[in-house]
């Protein structure tokens, strides 16, 4: 699965005991930090461009930061058998002007473009989308799950 990430956005990767999960970055990983000893084992592969996670226990939810030469990615690693990722390729998101409506409710609109998502808040109050507070509208990373006030509304390219 390709994750188009907007710089500074925090996203989620789900791990499972039933398989390894690889996260492939556009450049060599210089360093990383996060998790707790005993949560998972990390393997560095592909000349330092890939991190492979092997969970060692269930039920964890940890912050993780990966540092590349000129950028960093801050994400959450969560245990989930239902939503687990196998292969994640990280790419840079791009804003666009041509959208396709994925979902509309009385509270929001979610649009898709090739390398990002666009969220429009129709409510009269700010909402929390993943780790962002959105008053009116915002571009979002495409690929990772999207949570609106703690409820998942987008997963693996589909509006829920």
Q: How far apart are CA 52 and CA 18, in angstroms?
A: 14
* H or E element that contains 31: strand 29-34
Would you state the structure tokens that stand for residue 12, as one six-digit string? 């989620």
Q: How far apart are CA 47 and CA 154, in angstroms?
A: 32
Closest by CA position to 110, among listed 150, 73, 152, 76: 152
**Domain spans, the chain:** 2-92, 100-159
CATH number listed for the domain at residues 2-92 = 2.60.40
Whole-number pLDDT of residue 110? 98
Q: How far apart are CA 121 and CA 109, in angstroms?
A: 7
- Checking if the pLDDT of 156 tops 90, the result is no
What is the arithmetic mean of pLDDT over 38-47? 95
Name the residue with tokens 């129709």.
122
- Predicted TM-score (pTM) of this structure: 0.92
Q: What is the pLDDT of residues 81-121, one digit of tens each?
A: 999 999 999 999 999 989 999 999 999 999 999 999 999 99
What is the arithmetic mean of pLDDT over 5-16? 94
Q: How far apart are CA 19 and CA 42, in angstroms?
A: 13
3-state secondary structure of 48: helix
> Please, which pLDDT band fits residue 157 given cuts at 50, 70 and 90?
confident
Whole-number pLDDT of residue 42? 96
Strand partners, 31: 67
Strand partners, 150: none
Name the residue with tokens 């000893």.
37
CB atoms within 10 A of CB 36: 9
Mode of pairing for the β-strands spanning 21-24 and 137-140: unpaired
């Amino acid at each position: 699965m390709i994750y188009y990430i907007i710089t500074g956005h925090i996203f989620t990767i789900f791990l499972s005991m039933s398989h390894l999960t690889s996260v492939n970055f556009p450049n060599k990983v210089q360093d990383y930090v996060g998790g707790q000893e005993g949560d998972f084992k990390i393997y560095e592969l592909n000349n330092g461009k890939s991190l492979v996670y092997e969970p060692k226990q269930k039920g964890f939810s940890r912050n993780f930061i990966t540092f590349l030469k000129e950028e960093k990615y801050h994400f959450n690693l969560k245990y989930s058998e239902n939503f687990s990722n196998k292969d994640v390729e990280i790419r840079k998101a791009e804003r666009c002007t041509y959208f396709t409506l994925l979902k509309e409710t009385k509270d929001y609109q979610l649009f898709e473009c090739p390398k990002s998502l666009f969220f429009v808040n129709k409510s009269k109050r700010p909402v929390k989308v993943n780790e962002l507070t959105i008053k009116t509208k915002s571009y979002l990373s495409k690929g990772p799950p999207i949570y609106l006030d703690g409820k998942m509304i987008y997963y693996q390219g589909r509006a829920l």
